[in-house]
Every structure is written in structure tokens, then in C-alpha cells.
Amino acid sequence: MGASLWRCSAAARDLFAEADRATGLPLTKVCFEGPAERLTDTAFAQPCVVATSLAAAAALAELLARANTKVEAAFCAGHSVGELAALGQAGALTPSDCLRLVATRGRLMAEASAATDGSMAAVLGLDEAALVQVCEAASRETGVAVQVANLNAPGQVVLSGHRMALTRASELARAAGARRVVWLDVGGPFHSIYMQPAADAFRASVASSPMRSPSVPVVLNVSAQPSCDPDEIKRELMVQVTSPVRWSDSVKTMVELGCTIFVELGPGQVLSGLVKRTAKDVTVLNVEDEESLLTTAERLQTLV
């Protein structure tokens, strides 16, 4: 993850080096070499994803500058931990402060996950209102909690909670007409009440971290609205790990405000797919390696 960007971009190499220095973790080595069990450990996965995302952004900016092409974002947004990458890219946080916060967030969420037998599952074909009722019934029947965690795209909602409640919610969702329920390979019940210990501990780190007004508005996960207010952004980060990620609404907000080009920066193309499912008649590009970097830079030169 990110190795191709490191090889082709000096800016990406600088970012990975800064990630290692800022966090005190061997993020570059883990990104490039694994092993897989360490890369998927929440404590490493979160800073590794953000480091790679910021490296992708740095590599793209470097390449566009070399081509004398000026591209300015109208908004930044990120899904879950990606929101911190968005804040770093928008200048609300320095790369070092961003990565330190992410490393703390990942460690705290890993600790909270270890204390709970929890997971997450994607439900296809039911809307939020129906799934809120499903979660309430499953929680009531099992005595443990499950809740709506991610509103990813029309017809795709992720639930999170205790495995027993999640199992019952999966059964109830299918009975209510869900086309499919897919359990996710994740480190814990993220964006649920089981992350409250992490949220409580993370609050102090957020409060003490320098936060500036971003250079462009950041569309926040909880409200799905753009903000340039450092205090509002800090309040968001303090509650985000226990609150639903309203990604579909965030994409709709950006489209309503005039966005027609979306560039996903970082490993994989999951968000690209979610944007395509949510918004019609938009251009979706991504940067995750040298090939996609060159393709996206070339397309942007023809679009702006």
C-alpha cells in the first residue's frame, strides 16, 4: 500500500517519512511490507490509510505543479478516519498533527474494540428508517446494542454493534426485505456506543491539538455539512467515532453546492464506487498508485 507512490514521487516519500517521525510507528514499513495482520490491526490501519491518502494528495499536487496545471479543491471530505486526512489536506491540521491524532484515534479504538465482542455488517436494499427499527428490535431482544453506523450510498447502510445483536439484526433485516447482508472484516464495532471509551479518551487529544481554519470547507461526517470553523470541527471529531457517518448525504451536499469532479486520494476505490452510486453525471477519479496518479493528472489537465 503506497509503495508505488513512494517510488515515483519525492513528495510522497517526504510524507511517509514525516508519518514515521510524527507517530513514532514504522508506518512506511507496515504499509509496504505488512504483514497483513498488522496492517489490518486498527492501531496501524488507521494511520497507514491516512498516511497513504496524504501521500497520494502530495504526489498529485507535485505532478500537477510540474505540468503547470493549477487545480484547486472546492471541498474536502473523508469517510470515518478519512475525515482526518481531509482535514490534513485542507490545512486545518498540519500533516504531523493530523498523523499524531490519527495514531491516537486508532490506538484508542483498538483498545475499545478489544473490550467488546463486536463487528459491522453492510445491509443492501433497506433504508435508514427501516434499519433503525431493526436495530431497536434486535437490541431490545438481545440486551446488547446494535445501531446504524454508516450511510454509505442509497440502499447501502452499515450496522455496528455487539455480535449477538448484529446477528439478530441481520436476521430481522433479511425478514424485512434486505437483498443482502454482508459481514465486514473490521477490527471492531466502529461508530457505535461501544466506541464511547475511545471517544472520551480522544476528546483531550482533540482539544489540545492545534486546529486552524481550513483553506477550503470540509464536509463533516456527522452533519454532512461543510465547515471552516475550527471549534465546530473539533466538536465533530469528539463525537464522530460513536456517530453515524453520513457519507451519502455528504456527497449529495457537495453535488448540490456545484461539485462535478471527485478525486479519491488513498488506497482502494471504495469511495469512488459510493460516489458513483450516489451522484449521477459526475466525474470520479482516484489516486492510489503510479498508474492512477498519471491517469488522474492527465484527466484533470483536460477538465480544468
Beta bridge partners of 245: 150
3-state SS of the chain: helix, strand, coil percent to 5?
55, 15, 30
Residue pair 75/21 in contact (Cβ under 8 Å)? The answer is no
Catalytic residues: 80, 191
Residue pair 279/251 in contact (Cβ under 8 Å)? The answer is yes
Copy the grid coordinates of residue 89: 489536506
Residue pair 228/217 in contact (Cβ under 8 Å)? The answer is yes
Neighbour-count burial of 25, counting CB atoms closer than 10 A to its CB (0-12 exposed, 13-18 middle, 19+ buried) = buried
Residue pair 218/227 in contact (Cβ under 8 Å)? The answer is yes
Distance of CA 299 to the CA centre of its chain: 24
Please give the C-alpha separations between residue 125 and each of 77, 137, 173, 247, in angstroms, as whole numbers: 25, 18, 9, 17
3 state DSSP class of 302: helix
How far apart CA 272 and CA 263 sit, in angstroms, is 8
The angle formed by the CA atoms of residues 98, 102 and 105, to the nearest 5 degrees, is 140
Residue pair 211/84 in contact (Cβ under 8 Å)? The answer is no
How far apart CA 36 and CA 57 sit, in angstroms, is 24
